[in-house]
Every structure is written in C-alpha cells, then in structure tokens.
Chains A and B, each alone.
Chain A
Amino acid sequence: EPEVTQTPSHQVTQMGQEVILRCVPISNHLYFYWYRQILGQKVEFLVSFYNNEISEKSEIFDDQFSVERPDGSNFTLKIRSTKLEDSAMYFCASSELLAGGGDTQYFGPGTRLTVL
C-alpha cells in the first residue's frame, strides 16, 4: 500500500538554526499539507500546497516558514530561525483530490522536532 514518508524521524536543533523537514507524498497525489502537533495538544493545520503554490495557510505559518516542492517527489517544510515553541511533531499529508470533495488526506509518520 502506498504511503507518505518523512525524514528525519527526529531532528534536534539549536534555537535560531534553520531546519528542513522532508516528505515524499504518495506518488499520484496532487495536494500536499503540513500539520503540527505540540506534545499533548491537538493536530493543527499549517499549510496546503497545490500546483507549486500555497493554497491556504494558517496563522501559525508566518514568515519563518516556507514550503517547496523542489522536484517531482519531495515536499519540504523549512523553518528559518527555530524557536523553542516550534518543538512539535510535524506531519506531512497528501491527497489525490481536494478534501472538500470528501477525499482522504493520508499522513506520514511525522518528524519530531526538538529545539534546544
């Protein structure tokens, strides 16, 4: 069964450093998403991406965040200058069609980001 993959599984970084989280969505999917989950809290939407541009973003997704699809398979989330409060699990997801069409978003296993 095809699945979303993410690397690394755990990233430890110093405050102020840049990090890039990587995702490989399911191959025939067209819509890509990033979510985060701070420990003990709910899953929160960050950004959605389609046709090489951002479709929607949340208030959390400020200028410190950016997304990119550098090639035909990878989808990345960059945090330019990490803060302590960026420590969380970051989930990538993909869907074949729009969620509004009732389509399913499939989630990757997540990258645990720890900012020291």
Chain B
Amino acid sequence: RKEVEQDPGPFNVPEGATVAFNCTYSNSASQSFFWYRQDCRKEPKLLMSVYSSGNEDGRFTAQLNRASQYISLLIRDSKLSDSATYLCVVNPSSYKLIFGSGTRLLVRP
C-alpha cells in the first residue's frame, strides 16, 4: 500500500463549483498532516495544515479522520486561480514529509 494515496484526477470543474479531494495514508503513527499546492514546475506551497477537529480557511476546508486514516480538502466557489495540483502531505516522523502524487484541478471559465 502506498504511504500516501490520492486520486490523480484531473478534476475539471466550472468556476464557482465546489470540489472535494480525498487522501488516505498508511502509517497510523503519523503526527501532522498538510495540504500543499503545486503549480506547474514550481515548488510546493503550504495551503493549510489539517487538524482532527477540522479547519477552515476562507473557501478551503480540511478534515482529518484518524480512525480511517483519511484526509479531505473541500474547495468552495472555485476560482480560475485554483487550478493547480493539490498535494496531500503526511508527517510520519519528526524529520520528513511524505507527499502523495497529487490531484490535478482544472477550473474552467
């Protein structure tokens, strides 16, 4: 089983749509969880950390289910600028991050 597994997409949605991404991880001892965003040929940039209680940042909502080892990201009111690859990232030890392969989002006018 892959350490971090994501649906590669692409998700092709119209502007204004709501879209949800899911991710599963294999290491139950993982401590921290993140969503990063990566634009083509650019570095990963932190979108948000993910907490068990769920957290929201504007149009973005992240949820963590430790029992199911499942992480989600919801984007409401999609903008053209949201087009990117969304990376599910897990911290299985203090010193490294493990990345999923990413889910590609295309927002069309």
By a beta-carbon cutoff of 8 Å, the part of chain A in contact with chain B is 31, 33, 35, 41-45, 48, 50, 55-56, 58, 89, 91, 98-102, 104-110
Query: When A58-B96, A98-B94, A98-B95 are in contact, do A42 and B101 touch as well, CB less than 8 Å?
Result: yes
B residues less than 8 Å from A108 (CB atoms): 43
**Most chain A CB inside 10 Å of its own CB: which residue of B42, B43, B45:** B43
A78 CB, nearest partner CB in chain B, Å: 20
Q: How many residues of B contact A (CB 8 A)?
A: 23
A residues less than 8 Å from B94 (CB atoms): 55, 98-101
10 A-B contact pairs sorted by A residue (CB < 8 Å): A31-B95, A33-B97, A41-B101, A42-B87, A42-B102, A48-B96, A50-B95, A91-B44, A100-B95, A106-B46
Chain B contact residues: helix, strand, loop or mixed: strand
- Chain A residue at minimal CB-CB distance from B46: A104
B31 in the interface (beta carbon within 8 A): yes
The 3 closest A-B pairs by CB, nearest first: A100-B94, A56-B95, A48-B95
B residues less than 8 Å from A35 (CB atoms): 97, 99
Q: Contact at A109–B99, with CB atoms within 8 Å?
A: no
Within 8 A of A (CB), among B64-100: 87, 91, 93-100
B32 in the interface (beta carbon within 8 A): yes
Interface string of B16-52 (1 = CB under 8 A from A): 0000000000000001101000100111111001000
Inter-chain CA distance A105–B94, complex, in Å, is 11
B40 CB, nearest partner CB in chain A, Å: 11
B residues less than 8 Å from A42 (CB atoms): 87, 99-102
B residues less than 8 Å from A45 (CB atoms): 96-98
**Most chain A CB inside 10 Å of its own CB: which residue of B94, B99, B102:** B94
Q: Contact at A43–B96, with CB atoms within 8 Å?
A: no
A residues less than 8 Å from B41 (CB atoms): 89
Inter-chain CA distance A43–B38, complex, in Å, is 10
Partner of A109, one of B42, B93, B101: B42
Q: Contact at A43–B49, with CB atoms within 8 Å?
A: no
B residues less than 8 Å from A55 (CB atoms): 94-95
B residues less than 8 Å from A110 (CB atoms): 42-43
